[in-house]
Amino acid sequence: MKNLLMIMALMMCFVANSQWTYKTINSKFDGSFKRAFTATNNNGFLMMEESDTVNKPFLGLSGSYFCDDETLIDVVLVVKGVNKVYKIDAMKSGDNEMYYINDSIWTDEFVDDFKSASKCSIRVNQSYCTDEYYTFNFSGSTAAFNFITK
């Protein structure tokens, strides 16, 4: 009985530390679609939604207020203790609160690293405002990616 309680407690801790949440959204305006998002860090979060492109989800970074219309975002995915660095082109939303990530990032290598990463650090390079920094626990990234793309 003690072992069962210990296993249940460990599973609850694992779920509580899982940083990706995903669900199907039912909207009167947009219909039904899948969305996944991370816990917040520095008022920002990553968000994935299914897209028309097969196995290439829509990926966005929401934050405070972004200045540059287009920018280069530095992404570091920590995979088995190794930093994998990516430079990603992004375009700002009309309300200045999100960067839409160019879907060309979804190479086989990036997908593997994205799904295997334990942590993700992001630097948004801005020329008009100060750079923005975010760090996300990537626990559950594989399940979130698979939910969106399948």
Which whole number is the average pLDDT over 40-58?
89
Which whole number is the average pLDDT over 38-61?
91
Name the strands in the sheet holding 98-101, side by side, starting at the edge strand that comes first in the sequence. Answer: 20-27, 31-38, 45-49, 58-62, 98-101, 82-92, 70-79, 119-124, 132-137
What CATH number should be reported for the domain holding residue 145?
2.60.40.1880
**Domain boundaries, position 85:** 2-149
Return the pLDDT at 70: 96
Give the pLDDT confidence of 56-101 residue by residue, as tens digits: 999 999 988 999 999 999 999 999 999 999 999 999 999 999 999 9
**Amino acid code (one letter) for 34:** K
Q: How confident is the model at residue 18 (pLDDT cuts 50, 70, 90)?
A: low
Mean pLDDT of the chain: 88
Number of structural domains the chain divides into: 1
Write down the pTM of the prediction.
0.84
